[in-house]
Amino acid sequence: MNQTKMKTKDLILAGAFLALYCVVSLGVIMVLGFTPITFLLVPLIVPIVVGPVFSLYLSKVPKSGAILILGIIVTLLSNSTGYIYGIIFGAIATVVAELIAKAGKYKSKQMFSISYMVFSLIYTTPYMMMTLARNAFMEKTAMISGQEFADVLASFVPNWIFYALIVLALIGAAIGSFFGQRVMKKHFEKAGIL
């Protein structure tokens, strides 16, 4: 049982991968965040790009709590606006992802993929308000970017956007997981860094 508990070495590696994961995510988000349409594609694209990092992280630290640490930090960063339901949703996604990985005894690649798909739902949390608290969200946007911008946004963003984004995130994570496994095999295993 001690084999799956995180030791000091794992904690340090976790911190490093945490940094890499966040920096890459942020990089992609900043590039995509410029136009409204690409802004909505974040839950699809970010999990794809970050897939390999997640795969490498889990292969270096296949321990209990690895996903938990990553998830908590990412949830907090994604929901810095303080939307409490977003944080709760993200926390739940993190815990479920951790449990799925645990079910695979931190070794099964399929379980890691499923875990990643659940994990990536964290990226939909900033958009929760658009569906679940639509009026409040539109008011906020109006205050930030003006009434006209809010109207434009309202006109092409449907009510069920949040659910759509959940689907997008799952698709993105599936692709990202596949991409991640491929990268691991093609590069890391071949180079013997694993």
Binding-site ranges for another protein (CB under 8 A): 6-9, 11-20, 22-24, 49, 52-53, 56, 60, 65, 69, 72-73, 80-82, 140, 143-146, 148-149, 179, 183, 186-188, 190-193
Contact yes or no for 162/127 (Cβ under 8 A)? yes
Query: CA 24 to CA 1: how far, in whole Å?
Result: 33
| Closer residue to another protein in complex, CB, 164/188 | 188
Nearer to another protein, 72 or 171 (CB): 72
Closer to another protein by Cβ: residue 149 or 163: 149
Burial of 30 (0-12, 13-18, 19+ CB in 10 A): exposed
Query: Minimum distance from CB of 93 to another protein (Å)?
Result: 18
102 versus 140: smaller Cβ distance to another protein: 140
Question: Is the torsion defined by CA of 85, 91, 94, 95 positive or negative?
Answer: negative
Which residue's CB is nearer to another protein, number 111 or number 133?
133
In angstroms, what is the minimal distance from the CB of 79 to another protein?
10
Nearest distance from C-beta of residue 29 to another protein, angstroms: 14
Taking the complex as a whole, the smallest distance from the CB of residue 193 to another protein amounts, in Å, to 6
| Residue 76 or 103 having the CB closest to another protein | 76
CA 94 distance to own-chain centroid: 9
Q: Are 67 and 90 in contact (CB under 8 A)?
A: no
In the complex, minimum distance from the CB of residue 147 to another protein, in angstroms, rounded to a whole number: 9
Instruction: Supply the minimum distance, in Å, between the C-beta of residue 104 and another protein.
Output: 21
Buried/exposed 115-147: b ≥16 CB within 10 Å, e otherwise: bbbbbbbbbbbbbbbbbeeeeebbeebbeeeee
DSSP 125-159: GGGHHHHHTHHHHHHHHHHHH-HHHHHHHHHHS-T
